Structure 1
Amino acid sequence: MIRIRLLVGFVVIALLPLIGVSIGTYIVNYRSGRQQSIDRLESVAARKELAIQGWIESLRDELVSVIQADYAPGLIWNALRLANEDEIYPWYINLVRKRLQAFLTQSTQFDELFLLDLHGRVLVSTAPAPPAGPAREGEDYRNQELFIRGLQGAVTLLPFPQGNLAAGDQELPLLYGDSVFSVIPVDDMDQQRLGVLVGRGKLDALHAILEERTGLGETGKAYLVNNQGVLLNGTRAFAARGASISEVVAAAGVSEALAKSASVSGLYKDPLGVNVIGVYRWVADPGVVLAVEQDASETFRVMIAALGINLVIAITAIVLAVFASLWLTRSIANPIIELAETASQIAKGDFERTANVERNDEVGVLGRAFNSMTVQLRDLINTLERRVAERTQDLQAANEALRQRALQMETSAQVGREITSILNLDVLLRRVVELIQDAFGYYHVQVFLLDRDAQQLVLRAHSGDVFSQYQRIALEQTSINSQSVLLGKPIMVNDVSQDTNFLYDEKLPETRAELVIPLRLGEQIIGTLDVHASQVDAFSEQDVRVLQGLGDQIVVAIENARLYDQSRELAVLEERTRLARELHDSVTQSLYSLVLLTEGWRRQVSAGGSAEAEDYLSKIGAIAQSSLKEMRMLIHELRPPTLQQEGLVGALQKRLDVVESKVGIEARVVMEDFIEMPPEIEDGLYWIALEALNNAMKHAQAKRVTIRISAVNDSVVLEVTDDGVGFDPLAARQSGGMGLNNMQERARQLGGTCAISSAPGEGTLVTVTVPLLRVGAGSTIK
């Protein structure tokens, strides 16, 4: 009896730890296996999501490069502006189409590009004409999702059954069910939205990302589902099971991710009803769920095998316990208890704990099995931690790349702003090289311009206080700059000690790498952008592209400065021509009249006609007085007072003191209120008043002139009154005389009006009214 009790007790004692170990092992294996599978699938999903985002960004970057390439911005902006005003010129549309087609020949991602104006009309398309392609141009896409969302910002539309378009409009999915549409808005330099640019491309790259099987095992799969629970067109994830896309509906994990707009993971059933371990990540752009799944049977295969081993061991232990004697109870029970404690510690997370195995019996085998499983579990956790660290490092590298990209774009934008605000070429070039050096941390930056007559590169700007010892570099001289000009392309030397064309500069001894960008205006090279770095391998192809873009902006700045100087020279020439005409029409004719009258007087005196000689002398005095007025007026115009120093009232008073008071005209300036005006209003009113004063002096024979400046209802009013002979304003306008058109044109440019009231024998009143608030908010009346 006692033997039976001992035997029963031995069996019970042997079974209890064994059952505990089995249950613990099963729980640990189940939880760890499930979590490891989820973590592995999370890593796969994160990698695929990053690849998808990179693919989407590459599509958008290529569309951005379409707008920014060479002269494309001006062509596209002008075409959209004209279309938005319902002005469409076929020859101009054809020119834009050719530019888009030229870009399309170099694109590896797009099959078609087309522009939509703000009315939703397809303005330009690179698609061939029917029947080879769709009749795209002229179609109305105002209700299409690609147009509606494209006006709000960049968007990528993927093809799904039943489409992304508005209800009742299925044209695009029917024609291009395997195409992706990338859309970006088109803004001009003033950030005014002009339309959208759409690119249509293939899904091959996206399917390649989804079908890449690293980390998915034998039964793993990845696919995309939209917010209606529909699979992406062309999905082959379920093809091995004989299911088509139309037979697949959203799984529970997909529905949960769509409902929460967030990522979920766990044990679910896939669209075909198979139990899977799944990770479902919500991808906000383009608004889909990325599903990564693996059959639960494959995931738990190892755990089931371990469970079978445990069951075999348990049965063996029971059999041995039944046939063991009482004296084995102690030697067997203690190791089992120790093993149970070890399993309990491992279950709590102490993966460094191992079972002390000194025996070769079943207990020893069980202990070694536990130790082996612990080692495997510890290795898996360490591998997971390493993967997390690698992923963190990759994310940090991606963030650094994004930061560098943002810095490059900010520098490019700042250079663009400097170009529009600085017209002095030397100041602008110095500012640009300093911006490039500060933004990218280069050792030295300088700009050379080409002297074609001397066939030399001339140093025009450099960063910092140290400048190159080579102020001029001949094209035949060995240097990287001259090679770049002669070859017409950028030259990147990441180790100048290994390049025979490098021209050593004693004032720049720290140069270890050099990048030279040719500055190209049309087909001509006008100079170089020379960048030095103090480290070897400091430059990359990305630096070449960024600096090439900055070089193009420098060329635009040089051309703007040249056009500005040319416009100033033309203005000077025009003013000289006007003064010459004034001298010829007034002073020269008056002097000629003096000559004729003097000759007549001489003859009369010779003939003894003293009475008529007095009349000649009177006319000579009047003509001389008139000529003196004309000369004083022209001299004043050649040296007008500075409005910034004198102000409007001071400038006008100086004119009256210099001209009118010297010829006997009683003139005065009256300002009823102190009016603070913008410089452009003061300048315009000054020249209108001068024109009115000139008319009063030359034509009206006035004795009194009054200039009155007042403020009326947020407007400034200028009145010029004289008591001259007057005239017919209608006849004067038809003849084009007395500068009336000039005064009215200046008033219109200020946003105001110019009214002229006069009649023969009644004097003249010129009234100019200009609104202050239209010109600037800084105008005040005190």
Structure 2
Amino acid sequence: MLSQTPKLRSLSSKLLMLTIAWLLLAMTSIGYTLVLSWKLEGGAAAINDAGSLRMRSYHAALLVSENASREAIQQEEQAFSDTLARLKKGDPARPLFLPDNAAVRQQAEEIEQHWRGDILPQLRRAELQSARPERTASPDVSSFVDRIDRLVKLIEEDNARNTTLLRFFQMALIAMAIVGSFTMMFLLFLLVIRPLDTLGEAITRLRNGELGARVEVSGNDEFALLSSGFNQMADHLQELYATLEQKVESKTRSVEEKNRHLTALYGTTSFLHESHELEAMCDGFISRLITLTGADAGSVRLVDVKRGRLELIAQHGLPEEMLEDDHCAPLDGCHCGEAVPQPFAVIRRFDRMQQQEEKHCQRAGFKEISVFHIRHNQSNVGIFTLYFRELTPLSPQDQFLLETLGSHLGLAIENQRLAARDRQFAVSEERNLMAQGLHDSIAQSLSFLNLQVQMLEAALGSGETEQAQENLGFIRTGVQECYEDVRELLLNFRTRINKEDFNDAVHTLLSRFEQQALVATQLTMHGNGLPLDPQQQLQVIFILQEALSNVRKHAQAEHVSIDIRNEADFVMTIRDDGCGFDQQRFEARKARHVGLSIMQERAARIHGRIAIRPLPGSGTEVCLTLPQTERQAA
């Protein structure tokens, strides 16, 4: 930490004091020259007014000699008196004043006394005689004018002295400007430029690799602080350079360790996101961790909370006796189970543990185990354990990495469980739809056949041959319908489509319908909207199958038109020219139409809407709409 420079010793203080001193001296000189200029201007005005006194003296004598009017003489007297009074009093506004000189003041007093005691009385007598016809002798003003001339001369001499002083001070100002400029240049060179050059040379040497470059610290000003700071910086750089190789090696090791961790994290998470069975996934996981940490063995166990056990899923390197021993299965059976409720990983070094009953891992020759949790959303899924035959302490970074990988494994296991539940749910849903389809088709037909068989038995028992023949015809027709229903269901169950052959699947379905029902179809497909995803395509095909099945069973139609419009919304419209239905009866019995319920459920799976309405005249229209918000790009 650099000490602060005392204020009076700092470079800025020195330059400020020198500037103030030079400014005060210059301002004093300039002020004095202004005073001298003011005095010269006032003296010049005084010379001018004093000269006017001389003129007015002669003019007054002339007026007397010419017997001028009394008013003219009085006017001249008054003008002379005013000029004399103004000369003595001065007028700063002009400026006008007599020099501050005893001889000048004395001469001005003599002129005033002579004016009042000699000249003015003569003029007064001349005023009294101005009315007489004879010519009046003019007063003698020559001696009075001499006094005025002497006053002018004294003022001029004073002005001459002031002019000399003014020139002196002007020359002094020029000299001060020259000396001050050279002084400032010298001080700038001495106090600023030379220290800057010295510091710049040292910086250049340091930049060129001369780490021993230093600056001599002299004085206690700002440049002394800069020099001291430069020397400290150079010392620090030299120290850094001396330990640079060691620090680079340390940073390299740190970067390599981080890269190793990132590689392990990326490789393990990539492996966990691939499709694997649970055992294969856990086996690959623990084998990677053994390679990463240098462990001699490892195992993955999942927690069964209800049974209070740990189930071994995968292991590498464990001896046979440990696999056969069941001590690790209970949660309180060994160190692994004891670690389950702990919030963090558990490290066990057997050489530091108190004397107690040896666990099976200790008896197998392992000196240290590390138990890490497999968690998902803060819940324990299981644990994985690393076994070491030699003491191998794991760094905090390694422990954090292993805990992170355990969380990824927990997520992967939970995803597998969710996927299995989703598959079970999908199978359950599909079985439900199959049951509904069987109920709507085959079950009803079998119920009808059972009734006809009972009627046939009754007719045969009573010997009614015609009734028996009629019942046999109904049974034959019912069996044929059951056969066709079973065949249709089998074909539906075998349907497999993808987004590339959706159009082909529709054409195949219509072709099969024409062969079975002997009903003509017309297909129109247009639009260039987003393709349907596989789930949407499958449900659309099933809805089309169910609609055509209803046409075959109930509509008694001769023609069916299918319009598929794939634009912003996906709209499929199926129209037939059959017998149609009564809208009111349909709404009243809607819940009992299993086929229609199946179509509604399949449409709901893809967030679509089904609308069924009778056409004017005859026929039925089924319209499936999949909104734009439910579409997705392939």
TM-score, normalisation: structure 2: 0.49
Q: Which has the higher helix share?
A: 2
TM-score, normalisation: structure 1: 0.41
